[in-house]
Chain A
Amino acid sequence: NAGVMQNPRHLVRRRGQEARLRCSPMKGHSHVYWYRQLPEEGLKFMVYLQKENIIDESGMPKERFSAEFPKEGPSILRIQQVVRGDSAAYFCATSPSGQVNIQYFGAGTRLSVL
């Protein structure tokens, strides 16, 4: 059983470009969380999704950021018109269906904006 898979591991974008970060949950997991770790800061919750639904997006910036978890395929965190302040490590965590007791984390995507 493969763990939570995130790709790419490293992503470099120029200011104004779009960044798409992907998260494939563990088998049997239907809950997805995205967290962001800014340099020298702790991890901060961004959004929580179940299949095809956004449940809690209280940690998402109001503009340029969006997330989806379609019926088929990975969860996508999309950042439009990236700025240097978006440079961070973005982690995905997933939980088994019907359980949010424990979250399993992926290795993260490190986004660098030039």
Chain B
Amino acid sequence: KQEVTQIPAALSVPEGENLVLNCSFTDSAIYNLQWFRQDPGKGLTSLLLIQSSQREQTSGRLNASLDKSSGRSTLYIAASQPGDSATYLCAVGNGGATNKLIFGTGTLLAVQP
């Protein structure tokens, strides 16, 4: 059974710092991995999608890497801003006919001005 873990559970950094969020999964047979952002009381915004054959994806100040063999992904945020404050969720797609997502419990990020 696939399990997804995210550490740390919470992180507080001063504005301008670069930071790394970690995601690990127990079964390396994944189809893809997505990083989402969730603001309080809001829905999910997809940030980056990495296919199982890819090593990384980049969008602006965000870079996500995937190491399937070790069951790890990282989300790197460069030059953090207060507007980056949110909960960041990692989700693994299991492929097959459904590709349902298995989510981690998230990292709550606070960027202090």
Contacts and interface: CB of A to CB of B under 8 A. Distances in A.
Contacts of B93: 101
Contact of A56 (B36, B100, B101): B100
B44 A45 contact: no
A102 B101 CA distance: 10
Interface size class of B (residues with CB under 8 A): 20 to 34
Interface in A36-65: 41-45, 48, 55-56, 59
Nearest to B41: A110
Contact of B101 (A41, A45, A55, A110): A45
B103 A44 contact: yes
Nearest to A44: B103
Contacts, number: 62
A102 B104 CA distance: 17
Contact of B89 (A33, A43, A56, A103): A43
A33 B93 CA distance: 13
B46 A102 contact: yes
B103 A43 contact: yes
A105 B43 CA distance: 7
B63 interface: no
A69 interface: no
A100 B93 CA distance: 9
26 contacts: A41-B105, A42-B4, A42-B103, A42-B104, A42-B105, A42-B106, A43-B44, A43-B89, A43-B91, A43-B101, A43-B103, A45-B101, A55-B97, A56-B97, A56-B98, A91-B44, A95-B99, A101-B93, A102-B46, A104-B46, A105-B44, A105-B46, A107-B42, A107-B43, A108-B43, A110-B41
